[in-house]
Structure 1
């Protein structure tokens, strides 16, 4: 598993984590924002009129499978998910308050990017042999750019991303939240929800749209009310928290508490990366849902999509971010079982109270030159406690404290090997021991958000808002992404590929309920970029056509 994770991280280093990627993503949104004259601002009110479907915007009798609102709900259900709960927490955990600023920037320019990709995808959609609509970037790449090879790459990446974005991280966060709040074993949660997922997606887009159009409004109201209960309780910290997002935006976030700091480059990269995971602007996923909408004007559906990053990131992600920042839990260490992928041993004794140690450890974690080096050697453990003084455990990017090694819940005694910072699982009679490592460290993802929601007027009941929110958000995301994947399969192999895909999709959904969380996030990050790069290329190639299409739309509106 560790070898697999290292391979995924190596791939991510030349894709989403590469220096060029955030600039390419934001640059594309900036280009279209200027080229089309700030459509995310000028067309915002028009978008609301279209989605309400009143008067001349009532397109119920036109070709398509869903209404504007249902298409928006399906696309929102695909974006409003773990990225809004676990993803924001993960971004702040990695980059501090500054990461939230770059999530906002990704959303603002992403509103224009999504407008462009949805319009072009709707324009070149097709009717399949089963009578339903199919669209997405692969169709304008094929039918307009005559680049079938690029369309195939995108479609394959969509299938991969449906697992890396829609199936695996969603159930992983649901299961984690349900276990933390209700003590339900992850495998049980995964099994029950896998059955429900299968029942929904077998009904196709009409059943998917019907379910998501009901879930999305309910889950949004529930989550917003819960977040406001925490923010109001910590109201004296709201303004300082909000200001810290801007103060650190171009300098990086300074060390505070157990947080060892993040450089500007690190916060920028992680903020943009998590922003994309949350609102998916530029990824090319939402256009697949919008292609099902009943409309004869592609631009009108593009208008509707402008609302997605606004609702998803500007509203919901901001609420999550303010809950985490104002409650202060993001700088505090909490007792937890460490994920192996979050653990790294460094040579020598370090602590986060000494200023010199904080600086050097911060450089080490942010990929900068540092005197800190990984540890290779042996740990002597007695009654669960390490007797070795020549190594420091970094867990979840913080100096771990009160560390205890257990086997089957019992304190471990013996020797543990560490190689290049990684703990090697000991064996007994040739079989690996079920070694777990517990202690105090920073936490991330849904676990961090759950702790933050307990710091408000709801007290410990706040965790249930996160658990239920995760359940609804993430499950609806998994539903939407199953549709994206099966439309990609239709493009690749035809309708016959849909059922095998759905079976594998549901199986992967179940498996991920009890898999390593960090591995899931790493896989999701790579899968997203495998879709985004071909999509951005296609959008830029059709920039002139997009501008003319918008001009023609407004000409018709004035006639």
Structure 2
């Protein structure tokens, strides 16, 4: 087992090294320029995300699709992942993480557009789409589509299932002394109850859970920032200066450098918001929307909320707490977040516990949909239902097991998902520009795609 773990750990380190970072960030920047900075339309996108397109075709509302995507995206990485980036790369990592969110909006926009452009309707009227359909119908590369679907189906058991279940059971045991066997069983039952209703049930739960948990966490972070208000200017200044000047960090982060800050900040941002990964477009394809660009704009807000807002707030809370409380041990990313939040009386630890629990649970729901759609693409309905059953059972085992190997395998699968998806985005950029010109640049957002 140690040899297997070491093997996948080495593969994961290679896959998520500089080549992948350059490919992902390069795609973000290329699409940003090619699409004339779609980030400018973020407020229009937010407005569209809360508007129901009643007469459009689809399985769930645009907000329901966005909530499901956010449920899968907003996870423990937004809390623990940011702390890990800071401990390894210094405060400057927060800046680079934020930058990936800003540029990643263009990639998430492009993914959403292709998901609607190439989605297909089943005999029962259900909408199916995602990178596998763009790869097959847009590029004519069925083999790449199959690879993407396979990697997605496998990755769902890691990043979206066992790892999240383990995080919940660990928190329940350490905070409330609840046995992992009990918490694992409860999670299984709750997830099963939601999954039996299909995408509409998942979307309804996510529509309620995601705004509530995100708002609660954001307000909590703002409260902590208010408590640390004397240190906020210093924290923001340190984050920006240390992103470009290692000497600005000080002795506590002596091992940090601009290269390390950029590497860990960019990697964490990319992993957190999943722009370019190809997961969010799978549920975007089910949205009720009259044309591809409307849903593309709605999808782009997912990266905005996940990284530009939530990850940035987490980073400011942690860095300001490090400045305010010099006794915090920032060398261990796994415990840094807990130490930083625990310094705030009354609200600090409960906020962290609630955030981790709800974020992890929502990720299980969101990724269940991704995995099922990938399996349906590969094998049809019969194995999809078997996949759902195995997915639910895996939650229990994830709650009680050690997951080092699973975590590393999931990292590998995520990277392997991104490669064919990024190829589709780069090679189909002409289609993305054409659709954007047709509906957005010519002010035709109200136009139906069939007109």
TM range, smaller chain: over 0.9
Query: Which residue does 2:386 correspond to in 1?
Result: 500
Counterpart residue number, 1:26: 25
Higher Cα radius of gyration: 1
CA distance in 2, matches of 1:227, 1:131: 43
Q: How far 1:467 moved relative to its partner?
A: 1.3
Structure 2 match to 1:93: 87
Higher helix share: 2
Is 1:51 aligned to 2:45, yes or no? no
Instruction: Return the offset for 1:107.
Output: 0.6
The worse-fitting range, judged by mean Cα deviation, of 275-284 and 501-510 is 501-510
Please show how residues 422-501 of structure 1 align to structure 2 within 5 Å: 442-445=331-334, 447-456=335-344, 459=345, 461-501=347-387
8 Å CA contact 2:63, 2:207 repeated in 1? yes
Q: Distance in 2 between matches of 1:509 and 1:276?
A: 25
CA contact 1:181–1:464 (8 Å) conserved in 2: no
Q: Residues 105-184 of structure 1: matches in 2 within 5 Å?
A: 105-184=99-178
Q: Give the TM-score, by structure 2 length.
A: 0.92
* CA displacement 1:481-508 (0-9 Å, x = unmatched): 0000100011100111211111222222
**Matched position secondary structure for 2:157:** helix
1:526 is matched with 412
**What is the CA-CA distance between 1:236 and the residue it aligns to?**
1.9
Summarize the Cα distance change of 1:188–1:540 in structure 2 as closer, same or farther, 3 Å threshold: same
Q: 1:196 aligns with which of 190, 193, 214?
A: 190
Describe the shift of the 1:444–1:59 C-alpha distance in structure 2 as closer, same or farther (beyond 3 A): same
Structure 1: distance between partners of 2:49 and 2:131: 22
Give SS of 2:15's match.
Answer: coil
Deviation of 1:455 (Å): 1.5
Choose 19-28 or 176-185, whichever is displaced more.
176-185
CA-CA distance at 1:220 after TM superposition: 1.3
1:219 aligns with 2:234: no
Superimposed CA distance per residue, residues 51-83 of structure 1 (whole angstroms, 9 cap, x where no aligned partner): 232xxxx42232211111111111111111112
Secondary structure of the residue aligned to 2:392 is helix
Change (3 A) 1:508 1:91: farther
Distance 1:557 1:501, change over 3 A: closer
Closer, same or farther in 2 for the Cα pair 1:475/1:282, shift >3 Å? same
Report whether the alignment pairs 1:315 with 2:309: yes
- Taking the aligned partners of 1:187 and 1:285, their CA distance within structure 2 comes to 30
Q: Is 1:64 the equivalent of 2:63?
A: no
- CA separation in 1, counterparts of 2:82 and 2:433? 34
Which digits, 9 at most, give the CA deviation of each residue in 1:249-285, with x for residues without a partner?
135585644x562333333222222112211111111
SS at match of 2:54: coil
Q: Are residues 514 and 230 of structure 1, via their aligned partners in 2, closer, same or farther at CA, if it must alter by over 3 Å?
A: farther
Instruction: Encode CA deviations 1:488-535: one digit per residue, 9 max, x unaligned.
Output: 011100111211111222222222224446555434432221111111
Evaluate the alpha carbon distance shift between residue 256 and residue 145 of structure 1 in structure 2; reply closer, same or farther with a 3 A threshold: same
> So what's the TM-score if we normalise by structure 1?
0.75
- Superposed CA RMSD: 2.2
Instruction: Return closer, same or farther for 1:529/1:331 CA change in 2, 3 Å cut-off.
Output: farther
**Partner residue of 2:181?**
187
Structure 1 residues 364-391: Cα deviation after superposition (integer angstroms, max 9, x where no partner): xxxxxxxxxxxxxxxxxxxxxxxxxxxx
Q: Which has the higher contact order (CA 8 A, sep 6+)?
A: 2
User: Which of 259, 267, 286 pairs up with 1:292?
Assistant: 286
> Which residue of structure 2 lines up, in the alignment, with residue 338 of structure 1?
none
Contact 1:288 1:484 (8 Å CA) reproduced? yes
Listed one character per residue, the Cα deviations across residues 5-60 of structure 1 (whole Å, up to 9, x for unaligned) are 2111211132112x21111111101001111100111x22221232232xxxx422
Most deviating of 83-92 and 243-252: 243-252
Q: State the secondary structure of the residue aligned to 2:57.
A: coil
Q: What does the per-residue CA deviation read over 1:171-222, in whole Å, with 9 as the maximum and x for residues that have no partner?
A: 2222232233222233332221122111111211000000000001110121
Q: 1:519 and 1:320, CA in 2 relative to 1: closer, same or farther beyond 3 A?
A: farther
For residues 124 and 225 of structure 2, what CA distance do their matches in structure 1 show?
Answer: 49
Question: 1:242 is matched with which residue?
Answer: 236
| Larger fraction in strand | 1
Does the CA-based 8 Å contact 2:120-2:127 persist in structure 1?
Answer: yes
Residue 37 of structure 1: aligned partner: 36
Q: Would the aligned equivalents of 2:157 and 2:394 in 1 still touch at CA under 8 Å?
A: yes
Report if aligned partners of 1:156, 1:488 keep a CA contact under 8 Å in 2: yes
Contact 1:95 1:263 survives alignment (8 Å): yes
| Shift in Å, 1:297 | 0.2
CA deviation map 1:426-450 (0-9, x unaligned): xxxxxxxxxxxxxxx94333x4323
Partners of 2:394 and 2:70 in 1: CA distance: 22
Contact 1:256-1:331 within 8 A present in 2 as well: no
Task: Assess if the C-alpha contact under 8 Å between 1:79 and 1:312 holds in 2.
Answer: yes
In the superposition, relative to structure 1, how do residues 195 and 250 fare at CA in structure 2: closer, same or farther (>3 Å)? same
| Number of residue equivalences | 443
